[in-house]
A and B are shown apart, each in its own frame.
Chain A
Amino acid sequence: MSGRLAGKAALVVGAAGKDNMAQVIARRFAAEGAKVVVAGRNRAILDTLAEEIGGIAVECDFTDRVSIFAMVETTREALGGIDIAVNATGWGLLKPFLETTDDDFDRMYALQLRGPFQFAQALIPVMQDKGGSIIQVTSATASIMFHDHSAYMATKAGTDHMLRTIANEFGHLGIRVNSISPGVTETPMTAEAAAVPGLMDAFAKGYPLGRYGTSQDIAAGCVWLASDECFMTGETMQVNGGLTLRGNPTKDAIEASVAAAMTQQG
């Protein structure tokens, strides 16, 4: 098998949504020659993807320690080891800060900060003999602002920094740990927002390259981080067309853009 990930064993978590970011990453990894385990919460969707790419489906609840460790163990047994592990789970909660409940925050923390922590704890013993690449999908909003997104952004930023500590402590085992930061990305999750006239126009102006991202962009970044060609660790790679140079629109700017589009249509 040729390809930039030929012979590699890869685990991609968060792939239980049709055509979501993790699915696109898994397809690209398979196309580059990797053996791929896809994981997430919806068995039927995972099975369809696994069949398509010749991979294996494993159910996992990323808020549950036992489930995460079982997923990693199942993957190790199925593939004979793990060279590459990607976590692309997430919960895009938008809620005003003063209305965000402790329960919201706890759920966010469990998925977006404790999950990556437990995932790394499960992976390091598996990767310690041969090395490996751990990739966490975080977010441009870990470093730039967006309104009504505090719990999401705080846990993503926490994960970025936690990854640096893991990179620092386990680099000598050949384990590289990095995160990749998308901005607004065309995915099934954002399709609804994209259908609101004027909404995405407000975001597009924040991208120096003139377009927002696609899951293919993120998958390409993951291939680079996963491949033996990459000698980077402890970094947050911004794969968002320069969004962090400009920033997201304010709430007012988005509302104005939508209102203008509505008027034009009306």
Chain B
Amino acid sequence: MGRLTGKVAVILGASDARSMGAATARRFVEEGAQVVLAARRKEAVEEIAAELGGIGVACDIADEASLAALAQTALEHYGHLDIAVNYAGQSAQASVLDVTAESLRSQSDIHFVGTALFIKHMAKAMTGGGSIITASSLTVLVQAPDLGAYAGSKGGADVYVRVAANELGARGIRVNSIAPGFTKSAMTEDYFGIEAVTNAFLKEMPLGRFPTVEDVANTALWLASDEAFVTGQRIDVTAGQALRRTPRADEFV
């Protein structure tokens, strides 16, 4: 008997085997869940889903109809939806002086509007209660230069999570976020190739090692299971870096 036996989970952002989404899918399946994996790249996500005995669906978080269809697919295939995890994200960099309205809007579309509409459509499909989890970020907790649009839209989503948790509690739906730190994943692979960057970051992590996608998956498992009497919270997976700071660029030596 696994910790998620009998549960159906949607995981958005699982098109790469090294991603948080794929790691979460593996962990959930180990614990007995059935999974619907989603991402923009249909073939890639179908391949990962097939390995786990789940189904893969194309979904773009910036498209509301596509989110509604994702929830419907879970209901049509498995009859119910209990858990929904959103890792869809995209990093964009620009200084406060150079940022464009276009970039701010696009980051908001993905992280703020996208998260809000993900919560909306997953919650509507969760007729018997459930757990919705979305990815926040270390950048919400300690400031990083040039990530204003990214951090601002993620931070806005965290506030939305609290509002959603308050409203959806009556339906037995819990809503929380996970704030990963500097985690080696498909999205951050380029940074991990630069030793000056990884060294500087490691010094700011009290636990002395980088968070892994497995750490994030285990956190998602805790929040997903019926045991967690937790809602409206942001759970930290930053190796304690939230207690410290983001290293400055001049420290990348």
Contact = CB atoms under 8 A, between A and B. Distances in A.
Given A164-B243, A168-B240, A224-B222, A213 B229 contact: yes
Contacts of A245: 162, 165-166, 231-232
Contacts of B237: 231-232
Contact of B169 (A174, A239, A241): A241
Q: Is the interface of A mostly helix, strand, loop or mixed?
A: mixed
Nearest to B180: A231
A230 B218 CA distance: 7
Interface in A202-225: 207-210, 213-214, 217, 220-221, 223-224
A246 B172 CA distance: 16
A209 B236 contact: no
Contact of A221 (B174, B229, B239, B240): B229
B228 A209 contact: no
Interface in B205-247: 205-208, 211-212, 215, 218-219, 221-222, 227-233, 235-237, 239-240, 242-244
Contacts of A224: 222, 227-228
Nearest to A171: B206
A237 B176 CA distance: 12
A234 B219 contact: no
A208 B232 contact: yes
A209 B208 CA distance: 37
Nearest to B231: A242
A168 B239 CA distance: 10
A237 B222 CA distance: 12
B170 interface: yes
A242 B232 contact: yes
Contacts of B208: 171-172, 174
A87 interface: no
Given A171-B205, A231-B207, A237 B230 contact: yes
A232 B219 contact: yes
Given A209-B174, A224-B222, A231-B218, A168 B229 contact: no
Contacts of A214: 229
B215 to A, nearest CB: 4
A230 B228 CA distance: 14
A108 to B, nearest CB: 26
B170 A233 contact: no
A239 B230 contact: yes
Contacts of B221: 229
Contact of A210 (B169, B206, B215, B242): B169
A208 B169 contact: yes
B165 A208 contact: yes
A133 to B, nearest CB: 12
A235 interface: yes
Contact of A174 (B207, B219, B228): B207
A155 interface: no
A221 B206 contact: no
Contacts of B227: 217, 220, 223-224
A167 B208 CA distance: 12
B243 A208 contact: no
B168 to A, nearest CB: 8
Interface in B145-200: 162, 165-170, 172, 174
A231 B219 contact: yes
B120 to A, nearest CB: 17
A151 B179 CA distance: 32
B153 to A, nearest CB: 21
Given A167-B206, A174-B207, A241-B169, A232 B236 contact: yes
A19 B170 CA distance: 29
B25 to A, nearest CB: 16
Contacts of B244: 168
Contacts of A172: 206-208
The 10 lowest CB-CB distance pairs between A and B, nearest first, are A208-B169, A171-B206, A217-B229, A220-B227, A231-B215, A229-B218, A242-B231, A233-B240, A171-B207, A172-B208
Interface of A: 164, 167-172, 174, 176, 207-210, 213-214, 217, 220-221, 223-224, 229-235, 237-242, 244-246
Given A237-B230, A238-B230, 16 more contacts: A172-B207, A209-B231, A210-B170, A213-B229, A220-B229, A224-B228, A229-B222, A231-B218, A232-B236, A233-B207, A234-B242, A238-B233, A239-B230, A241-B231, A242-B169, A245-B232
Interface of B: 162, 165-170, 172, 174, 205-208, 211-212, 215, 218-219, 221-222, 227-233, 235-237, 239-240, 242-244
22 contacts: A167-B206, A168-B206, A171-B205, A171-B206, A172-B207, A208-B166, A208-B167, A208-B232, A210-B169, A210-B170, A213-B229, A214-B229, A221-B228, A231-B219, A232-B219, A232-B236, A235-B242, A238-B230, A242-B166, A245-B162, A245-B166, A245-B231
